[in-house]
A and B are shown apart, each in its own frame.
Chain A
Amino acid sequence: MSGYLELRGITKKYGDKIAVSGLDLGVPKGRISGIIGPNGAGKSTTIRMIMNIIAPDSGQILFDNMPTTEAFKNSVGYLPEERGLYKKMTLEEVILYLGQLKDKSRKEIEPKIDPWLERMNLAPYRKRKVEELSKGMQQKLQFVTTLIHEPDIIILDELFSGLDPLNIELIKGVLLELRQSGRTILFSTHVMEQAEKLCDSICMIDGGKKVLDGTMSDIKGRYGTNSIHLEIAGDGSFLQALPGIEKVTNYTNYFEITLSDPSKSNDVLKAIADKVTVIRFERMEPSLYNIFIALAGHTTGIAGKGGGHE
């Protein structure tokens, strides 16, 4: 797969600790791609290497088949994981300053400020200082500064951390629009659910290594559909012993069962219906979360359904 942005055999060590090991990654043009993985998997290190903030020990990073030099710096919009802006500057000044550092003129940026601030519900604060904004507002402002110069490729590290659901929806809307207009987006998250909803393709990393890579439909197809969402009236302790059931996970209000042979699902349903009343028996797609657990075999620092922590 040849990407718009291409990482080839990227390795980065911090002393003895390997942060990223031989990572290959292609980010297709005009699509939303996600780097997912638990905390400490090497997501931010990878993104910082893409951004020329730290240099890889070995490997190559290409943008449009060219090394990521000055042209790349001007056509990328980057939102770092740790958020922060100049507290004493006004919103307008921050936007103008960071926009001009992307080689845009004041005249090019100025007319775009108001529409963006309105979109983010920040319009009344244009002449106010950044420190007067709430944390969520500052994040939205930073999102604006990432996009004000109309970058070709947008790289967002832990995009959704610290945002409330309303603002997450707002930003998702913007991202989907950007995709529509042909922009390339790469973001990292440890919240699988977000990646699942937004991404065209994902790269899953753990311990600095790629464990899974491909388009969303590919991956879902590859990891079959042998999971069943089951709700019953009564005690489910007999389930484990039933033939055809490989694994039972007991959640508070339902069970997730894994079939040993997906084609025999009817037999299993009959067997259960013989013993208790079945309220719901639904074949489900595996979530990225479950795929990750299956692949990496641990749950450290990963957030599944129900949103992120932090």
Chain B
Amino acid sequence: MNKFWTIFKSEYAQVVKKKSFLVGLILTPAFMIIVTIVPALLADRDVQVQSEYAVVDIDGRGIGQKFVEALKKQKLSKDSSVEAYRLTQLYDMAGKGKEDIATLRTELDSQIVTKGLTSYIIIFPNPEKSDSVMLVSKSINFKTSARFDKAISNILASLRLEKSSVNLPVDSVLTMTRRIDMMQSSPGGKTRDFFSMYLGGIIFVMIVFMSVIGFGGILMRTVIEEKNSRVMEILISSVSPFQLMIGKVLGLGAANLTQVGIWVAMGAMLYSARGNLHVPAEVGTVLFNPVIIVFFVAFLILAYIMYATLFALIGSICSTEKETQNFMFPITMSLMLPVFIMMYVIQEPDSLVTIVLSLIPLFTPTMMVLRLNIMAPEAFSFSDPIILQAVLGFIITSLFTVGVIWVTSRVFRMGILLYGKRATFPEIMKWIRYK
């Protein structure tokens, strides 16, 4: 037991004392914010400069002019008085020959490439019948595309209404058929929007991912270093391979928890010091939901022990870091699975596929953390299927982890003394069966 503590403390101190640990404390969250939150904010951001557009009206009934009028209502931002779009020219091409139109399009295309023109639209004859309006632009801006779409659709709809027998003012029909953005709510009246589900899910999944890959990776490298420097022989002449393995896994695990603990404290401090900064209230309720936090900590520890043991296994059968790369790929993939299928899980957190995937031990920790975030259970009650599944997943994964530890301990004791080459699969199978 004393020796276990010696290894535990040494592994812990070797990591926590390093400057890279301090740097990781700051840089990792910063990196996470950059790769997760910033893209979401950027996609949502208002364009800050006017974009120039042109209109080519081949129809000739003033649709082009109406479109220009409609676009004038679009401002750069809600409070701005500056129009979002500036017309360079409205070309009335009604009745012109195909060649003239082709020449004009070539000219406009070259303006897009070489000058400031962002886009132009072509209104073909009788668009209300043929739906033939085309937007030509260098790149697709979702917001612009949606605004143009809406403007032209409204104009075409009013044209159709005028020709139809509906005896109502055009505007009131448009008001009546106006589309809305529906709010989403779960039972109990909690308001959830896509952004907060995405944010909450990705923060928790990324913490699990980063700490497992980070600390598991350290564990793997120290095993390889000890093999290469032959310190391993001294260690094994003092402690049993099992003591060594467990001491390493848990010592680094403690360092991992220290790091996550500091992150959580930093996050809580930032959140409480947010002042007037607008943070959606639901972010707080998701991040500080006690049920989610309890499960998150439990799954984080379990994920770490399961994967760190696998990393110890990999370290013991490889002799260089390069050799470990083949094994790193499947591990990264299985940890990142929830991120890849996040869109699906957010929409179908309760489907059979999601449930089955979240009960496969290698996926359980990250999948369950993601699902818990989306379903946001209020209380710890077994009548809630997600709680039941999370507990079941925890038990299955714990049993699986015990198996992983058993296999690893058998391979580890042989592998750590294998120098200069990677163990072959038959060798590993033989080691597992050894007495």
Contacts and interface: CB of A to CB of B under 8 A. Distances in A.
B3 interface: yes
Interface string B204-248: 000000000000000000000100111101111111000000000
Interface stretch (B6-14, B158-166, B363-371): B6-14
Contacts of A73: 237-239
A51 interface: yes
Interface residues of B, number: 19
A54 B231 contact: no
Contacts of B7: 101
Contact of A101 (B6, B233, B417): B6
A82 B233 contact: yes
- Interface residues of B: mostly helix, strand, loop or mixed? helix
Given A54-B417, A84-B230, A84-B231, 15 more contacts: A51-B233, A52-B236, A52-B237, A53-B233, A73-B238, A74-B238, A78-B234, A78-B237, A82-B230, A82-B233, A100-B2, A100-B3, A101-B238, A101-B239, A103-B2
Interface of A: 48, 51-54, 73-74, 76, 78, 80, 82-89, 97-98, 100-103, 145
Nearest to A76: B237
Contacts of A51: 233, 236-237
Given A101-B6, A101-B7, A103-B2, A86 B237 contact: no
Contacts of A78: 233-234, 237
Of all A-B residue pairs in the complex, the 9 with the closest CB atoms, nearest first, are A84-B229, A82-B230, A101-B238, A80-B233, A100-B6, A84-B230, A78-B237, A51-B237, A97-B10
B246 to A, nearest CB: 14
Nearest to A82: B230
Contacts of B228: 84
Contacts of B225: 86
Contacts of A74: 238
A303 to B, nearest CB: 22
B14 A88 contact: yes
A83 B2 CA distance: 26
Contacts of B234: 78, 80, 98, 145
A86 to B, nearest CB: 6
A203 B6 CA distance: 37
Contact of B3 (A83, A85, A101): A101
Contacts of A52: 236-237
B241 to A, nearest CB: 10
A87 B3 contact: no
A53 B3 CA distance: 17
A180 B229 CA distance: 33
30 contacts: A48-B233, A51-B233, A51-B236, A51-B237, A52-B237, A53-B233, A53-B237, A54-B417, A73-B237, A73-B239, A76-B237, A78-B237, A80-B230, A82-B230, A84-B228, A84-B230, A86-B225, A86-B229, A86-B231, A88-B14, A89-B14, A97-B6, A98-B238, A100-B2, A101-B3, A101-B7, A101-B238, A103-B2, A103-B3, A145-B234
B231 A85 contact: yes
Given A101-B3, A101-B6, A103-B2, A85 B237 contact: no
A87 B231 CA distance: 10
B338 to A, nearest CB: 35
A108 to B, nearest CB: 12
Contacts of A76: 237
Contacts of B14: 88-89
A222 B228 CA distance: 44
Contacts of B417: 53-54
A78 B230 CA distance: 12
A249 to B, nearest CB: 39
A261 B6 CA distance: 64
A149 to B, nearest CB: 9
A53 B238 contact: no
A87 B238 contact: no
A85 B229 contact: yes
